[in-house]
Structures are given as structure tokens and as C-alpha cells.
Chains A and B, each alone.
Chain A
Amino acid sequence: MSLLVCKSVSKRFGGIRALNGVSTSIEEHEILGLVGPNGSGKSTLINVLSGLYTADDGEAQFGDLDLLRLAPEKIAAAGVARTFQIPRPFDTMTVRENVSVSYMFGHRRHSLEAARDAASEWLAFTGLEAAADSPVDQLTLHQLKFLELARALATDPTLLLLDEVLAGLNPTEIEQSIEMIRKIHERGITLVIVEHLLRVVTSLSDRIVVLDQGSVIAAGDPTEVMADPAVVAAYLGGRAPDARGA
């Protein structure tokens, strides 16, 4: 069953078509890999779906809601959460307070008292309990990325959009992050991951959607998609007009 169905989602920045009629769907409980060369519109799609940008056209059906017509706080309340590629913690708060705030609001409303306990739970899940009462400026990039995850998870999402969780991490940290993503998936959360490391995406994802210049050029099984001549051409910077779909 489809959890989210995007129909011809478009977003322009001045003369640049960042998203040029993207149509795709996200199935319940899957891990969907969103890949494509730089500037292909992956992050724009995440930003449009999370309400950070307003789409120019199209729709994104999530249950009976159209995410493109909702304010960001309503999208969060509907059960869609995201992380940022460059972590954006609340920098006057401690790690625990960051997660508490997100639990208090998020998908359902909770009291201040309940948030303290719930925050501990998510900090334990992401392995941040030792840093729980530190100010966020004492965290490493790796920890900040996990804080992004903890904060997104604390909103209790059904759909989680991960924007380059692995960027800037060393190999050990990448291994830990992959394990974390699997653990999150095991909790029944549907994931969309935007990632540059193709090896990682292909091994993690159930399905892959490839974007190039704001359009979907291929979608389906990871290994098949990555062997598609259009995808290869897009990544190598060449053109393969005859193989280009949609």
C-alpha cells in the first residue's frame, strides 16, 4: 500500500526548475533511496514534502492529506518528520531539551513532564544518553547527526525523511549510522533516504528512485536501477537520450 503518492510535484527557483513534475510513490514500511547527481532535486523534494518550501504545482497525498498544501507544523502533526543534512540543533538548549521539545510538539501533543522521560528513551535509543545534559556545542558532527535523528524520532513519525545522514562521517561512524537506520526501520517507520554513497543506498534500500535535473529518470529495484544506462549517463555527466524514460 502506498503511504505517500507524489503527482507531478514542481518547484522553480527563478528560472531553474528544481523539481520538474516529479511523480513517485512511497510504500508503507519500505526504505526508499532517493539518489541523483548534485543539483538533481533530491533535497528540494525533501524540503517540499516537509513544508520548508512551497511547491509550485502538483500534489503529495499522505492518507487523505495533501502535504504540499499543509504548513510545516501540520505536516509534523500528520506524522512526517525530517532531518537536516547540516544539523540544526536548538543551540541554547541541552541535548535532552532538544529532544524534549520535539516530543512535546511533533505528531501528538504531550506535557512537559512526559517529555523528559520520553527524551531519555530516544537518547538511549540513539546512544546519546551520556551527552544528554551537555549543551549542543560540545557534540561531534556524528553526535549532532544522531541528535537530528533522535529529535525527528521523538515526533513519533510514520514517515521519516533523512537528508544525507552519512555526509561528512568517517567509515566507522557510517557503519554505526547504517545500523541505526536499520534499527529505526525495524520500529515500523517508513524511510526515505537521500544519500550520495551509492554503495550504502543500494544495500539499505528496498527500492530506489533516481532524480536528474528535477525529473525521475528511473525507479525500482536497487541493482537493476543502478545498471540502467540513463542512470549511468546521468552520473557520468553524459546523455543517453534514447534510454531516457518519463
Chain B
Amino acid sequence: MTTRNKTLIGFAIAAVVLGLVPNVVDVLNAPGFYLTFMFTMFFWISQASSWNILTGYSGYFSFGQGAWFGIGVYTTGILAAKNGWPFLVALPVAGLVGGAAGLLLGLVVFRLRRLSGEIFALTTLAVSFVLASVARLTSLIDGGRGIFMTGTPLPEFLGDFRTSMYRMTLVIALLTVLTAYLIFESRLGWGLFSIRDDEQVARGLGVPTFRYKMIALGTNAFFGALMGGVWALQIGFITVEDVFNIRVPLLVILMAVLGGMRHWMGPVVGAAIIYTLTDRLNSAGLADLNQVIIGALLIVLVLGVREGIYLRIRARWVASAVIFFGAMAVLTVFDVTSSLIWDFSYALLITMVMLLIPTPLWERLTPRRIAEPPGDPPPELPVPSGKAST
């Protein structure tokens, strides 16, 4: 069986297992916050993965995630809450509006002015500032009064509010990650990687750079807005300040960088880790310290694990699996903490301590490879150079 088929089966299994979680929670009569925790994680996984399709793959550093997210939030806000469209009709429109906005920006920055590097990054940031002003000043959009989403009816087959949120975010997150994977394993993906490494050379070898960058930006904006469209429900009361701020783009960048921008799984892992930690810090009443702790952690991790956590996990997959699941088992069996989410976050922390051991020291600690992954392990991918173009 090819790696591709294995990965696709993996996706199918993940879809089924995660799809059944609401039913399991229901049967066990477990508290609803499990679902909230998980669907918020899906939100971040999707945002980080979609951002990575543009920035991780093509090297064009974007601060624009907040813009795509905001377009999605306001599109469903206007269509479903203000104009009474059925939510599931408004939602795809949100994605399409975001995608169209992405393509429009692409037309300007990639064709009219060949922007690259920091100018590209600042332009994408400016887009969300412009959108914020437009939303604030236009009464058709917001006009400074905000939009109430709380009364928006959801179709019954999705279940109660939490379950509906869970199911919708799960589907979108799976679609985003699947798209990121399919691009990663395609001509489009390799074309984008070559753009990231050296755009001039890539063009000279026949890579249609303009078209590929447009596809990457459009896909990024589409999924950012699609997930934003769902998230409008969770926000409940939409205001310009809550939507078009720097939080989404910054967190998304942190997640992808920490997880590893060179691989489609990187942002997934990074989003899971960072979201879990911020959520636990908030829940422990350390919200004020949150930024400091996350910031410090990021410095340590980015310097210590430059290739990204995901590739480090893959290089030490036996140890990672043993430590993570071992810790999970011990914590759950002895009932150390009050919830599975705490068990999960402690297990994550313990595993990350192991992952932080520098590679030379790690190789000395494990002189002979204890076990190789079954079959041929894929060659370790080189460290991303992170340059956009020369």
C-alpha cells in the first residue's frame, strides 16, 4: 500500500473516531466542556493549517489570517443573523467571499506590484486594518453596533449548540488538513516549495509562480473565512474589535512555526500544543501570565527545536509515543487531575521536555537505534530556510 493510501485511510479513521466523540460524550454523560475544548482546537488547527498552505509552502509570510477570519465572521453575521439566510447556506458563501478577497489581494500584490518579503507581510497586515475600518464605518456591515449571532437557528440534525459547533468545525478542520496534505503531495506543492526556496530559479525551470501563489493565497483565505464563518456563532456578539485584531494572525504564526512549517502535520501539532497550553493557563486562573509563559515557551522551543516539533516527534516517535501514552495512562488511572484535558496537557508537557533534549545528546543517550519505524522511514526533511525569495 502506498504512503498516500495509508494517509488517506488515516484521515478516514480520524474522521470516524472524532465524528463519534459527541455520541461517546453523550453516552458517558461526560461534561460538555470536552466538546468545547475539542472544537476550539479544531478551529485553531484549521486556521494554522490554512495559513501554512500559503506561508509554510510558498514562503510568503502573511499577517493576513485575521482578515480572512474576519471576512468569514462578518459574512455569516450579515447573511444569517441580519438577513435570515439559513446558516448552512451562508457558511459556504463566507468561504467563497474570503477566497475571492484573497484572490483580489493576490492580483494586486503578485501581479501589479511584485511584493515580497517584509512588504508582502505588511501589506497583508494592512488588509485587516482596512477591513476593520470599513466594517466599523459601514452600517450595512457593522457600523459600530455589532451583530448578535445568538438567535441564529441551526439545523436540527447537527444536534445541540455544542454538538453542532463540534461537527461543523470538525468537518472544516478535516477538509483544511486534507487539502494541505493533498497539496503537499502534489506538483502544486513542489512548485510552491521551489518558490519558497528560490522564486527566480523556480520560474526559470517552468513553475507557473503567479498561478501557484494565487492558488495558495486563495485556499488560505477560503478556509480561514470558512472557519471564521462558523466561529461567528461561538463569538455570539460580533464586534470589530474582537474580530479584526492581531490575536488570530499571531497565534496562527506561533502554532505553525512551533509545529513546523515544512510539513503539513506541523501546524496541526503546533495548534494542538499551543491551544491546549493557553486553555489550561486560562483555566488555572493564570490568564494574565498566559502571554508571558507562552512567549517564553515559544523562545525555548523555537531555539531548541528548529525543525519544528512535528519532525522532532517523527524522529523520536517511539519515545514520544511511550512517554505520552504512558503519562496519559498513569494520570488517568491514578486520577491525579480533575479532567482528561489536564491529563492531556500534562502528558503533552512531559513529552515536550523529552523532545527538547538536543539531538547530539539524544543520540548519545540512545546509542543504538532501539527501533526503526516499520517499513522505510521517510528521510528526515531538512530545516526550512524560511526565506521568501532572493
Contact = CB atoms under 8 A, between A and B. Distances in A.
Contact of A112 (B187, B197, B203, B384): B187
Nearest to A137: B382
For B185, B193, B205, B382, the residue with the greatest tally of chain A CB atoms inside 10 Å of its CB is B205
Nearest to A103: B205
Contacts of A126: none
Contacts, number: 92
A139 interface: no
Given A91-B197, A92-B384, 7 more contacts: A52-B200, A73-B203, A76-B203, A81-B205, A94-B382, A101-B207, A135-B382
A71 B207 CA distance: 11
Contacts of A81: 204-205
A111 interface: yes
Given A90-B194, A93-B193, A101 B382 contact: no
B77 interface: no
A65 to B, nearest CB: 14
Contacts of A109: 187
Contact of A73 (B198, B209, B383): B209
Contacts of B198: 88-91
A134 B90 CA distance: 49
Given A91-B385, A93-B382, A51 B203 contact: yes
Contacts of B379: 94, 133
A37 B288 CA distance: 67
A106 interface: yes
A92 B382 contact: yes
Contacts of B201: 84, 88, 90
Interface string A37-50: 00000000000001
Contacts of A111: 187
Contacts of B236: none
A100 B200 CA distance: 17
Interface string B162-200: 000000000000000000000001110011011011101
Interface residues on A, range: 35 or more
A101 B185 contact: no
Given A92-B262, A133-B379, A50 B204 contact: yes
A73 B205 CA distance: 6
Contacts of B204: 50-52, 72-73, 75-76, 81-82
Contacts of A90: 193-194, 197-198, 201-202
Interface in B203-253: 203-209
B57 to A, nearest CB: 11
Contacts of B203: 51, 71-73, 76
A151 B206 contact: no
Contact of A101 (B193, B262, B381): B193
Contacts of A107: 206
The 7 A-B pairs with the shortest beta carbon distances in the complex, nearest first, are A76-B206, A105-B206, A90-B197, A72-B203, A102-B205, A135-B382, A106-B206
Nearest to B211: A73
Nearest to A87: B201
20 contacts: A51-B204, A72-B204, A73-B204, A73-B206, A90-B193, A92-B262, A92-B381, A93-B193, A93-B382, A94-B379, A97-B190, A100-B190, A101-B190, A101-B191, A101-B194, A101-B207, A104-B190, A104-B191, A105-B207, A152-B205
